[in-house]
Structure 1
């Protein structure tokens, strides 16, 4: 099956690269999109990196050359969402997270505070401490709106599957007895914001990824077509057991023809 799409939302790890390993077909796929002036955006749950860092990693380590406009992180999506729901005068936030998340909120005009914030945003933080989590929990229990950047339970690392942002968010949820608003894949907020940024309609875009649970489920729940490539996490045997199937499956992005 081949279909024309005006825009592509694309996962990174497992789809465009596999950790530090290059996926040559992915480089060729991105270059085909560029050569045909096709709109594409990397939609990633990563909140620790700035878009400039993502661009640098793609260029330096994978010979894929894009701009910051091609990158939409869960950190940016979190800042966009909070800006959308903030009432007049609500401009303070307490963040458990790293520079990519912090900078996204600063760029949106929010100021950071540990005292009586309007919003608490919890994301991946490799330097998280009991004190940081305690401040988040106390602020949420005092009435701050609770935002989780993404529900990823784990992140792959050369050491194995390390705790992801969702593990920290759920700890805070357990201690506050409050559920967060989750932003990243497979939730639809990041997809809706990416679509708004693209200026396209749902029927014009496709979500490309290697992970059925995050990338493909995000597309299915949001109501857009999906392209699952078997270069990363999910396997054909696993996906075959799912009630909802991707629009398209392929072993390599070389197999996908742009029309």
Structure 2
């Protein structure tokens, strides 16, 4: 079993924790990676939280001691991707929260509802009909449509509430335009994460609990994957998939880290 990867791209919910509940094996896994000098990047589809918030949550609530440099969100990936292709076209209308807006402004984009070059739709817990209507009208007028991620639902204390993908789908239906999608299982977030890491594809592995997002992202991008059965996907479901994960473990305690 090849496990001398230099870089680990790691999912959060279901892999590092389950909601507010700790996964003790996750903290032990990260400690082993840190002791072996591996590069760690948490790759998450959540566009609402800042990297600082995510790192603080991991450190304080889950005994996983990392900093904001270890966190890569769809908000950052969206801003990095647009920064790469935008040139002088830097006007953006945003349906989303502070994590997404801050990532874009930090990359010198202007957030506006007047003649934007791009409309970016992410998760927005305070979304209104008017915000969505504005997004639709601007896309129909010619703005390029970008979606942060396609997650239909998001787990919280109330249950499985609508995710960013539900808002993206509404705008897609009303515009009849296909968005550029950034987050897992798409390739863009993986390409941006790899670029940030400075490593090459053979040196990294994607670790996650969800075959349909984490593992498919790795497959689509052409890197190895490690599926851990601590969250969403089950062995019976995964056994039916045509393309299997590169590695599978019941617990992250089962993964040996080579120095």
Corresponding residue number in structure 2 for 1:222: 221
Note if 1:86 corresponds to 2:86. Answer: yes
Residues 5-27 of structure 1: CA distance to partner in whole angstroms, max 9, x if unpaired?
A: 01000000000001000001000
Q: Does 1:74 align with 2:59?
A: no
Give how far 1:158 is off: 2.3
Q: How many residues are aligned here?
A: 258
Q: In 1, are the aligned partners of 2:11 and 2:43 still within 8 Å (CA)?
A: yes
Structure 1: 4+ residue segments shifted above 2 A: none
| Within-5 A mapping of 1:1-259 | 1-88=1-88, 90-259=89-258
Deviation at 1:112, TM superposition (A): 0.8
Q: Which digits, 9 at most, give the CA deviation of each residue in 1:211-249, with x for residues without a partner?
A: 000000000111100000000000001000111100010
For 2:18 and 2:46, locate their aligned partners in 1 and report how far apart those are by CA, in whole Å.
15
Q: Secondary structure at the match of 1:208?
A: strand
Query: What SS does the aligned partner of 1:215 have?
Result: helix
**Does the CA contact (< 8 Å) of 1:42 and 1:71 recur in 2?**
yes
1:40: how far off? Answer: 1.1
* Residues in 1 aligned to 2:3 and 2:155: alpha-carbon distance in whole angstroms: 32
- How far apart, CA to CA, are the structure 2 residues paired with 1:252 and 1:123? 32
Cα offsets for 1:146-195 (capped at 9, x unmatched): 00000101111222211110000010011011010000000000000000
Cα distance in 2 between the residues matched to 1:70 and 1:3: 20
TM-score when normalising by structure 1: 0.98
Contact 1:2-1:256 within 8 A present in 2 as well: no
Stretches of structure 2 that go unaligned for 5 or more consecutive residues are none
Contact 1:2/1:257 (8 A) holds in 2: no
Q: Distance in 2 between the 1:83 and 1:142 partners?
A: 22
Q: 1 CA distance for matches of 2:136 and 2:117?
A: 13
Q: Answer yes or no: is the 8 Å Cα contact 2:25–2:251 preserved in 1.
A: yes
| Aligned equivalents of 2:254, 2:3: Cα separation in 1 | 13
Once residues 65 and 91 of structure 2 are traced to their aligned partners in structure 1, the CA distance between those partners, rounded to angstroms, is 36
Secondary structure, in 3 states, of the residue corresponding to 2:41?
A: strand
CA distance in 1: counterparts of 2:48 and 2:161, whole angstroms: 14
1:8-59 CA-partner distances (Å, limit 9, x unpaired) = 0000000000100000100000011111110110000010000000011111
Question: In the aligned structure 1, how far is the partner of 2:133 from the partner of 2:42?
Answer: 33
CA distance in 1, matches of 2:254, 2:2: 10
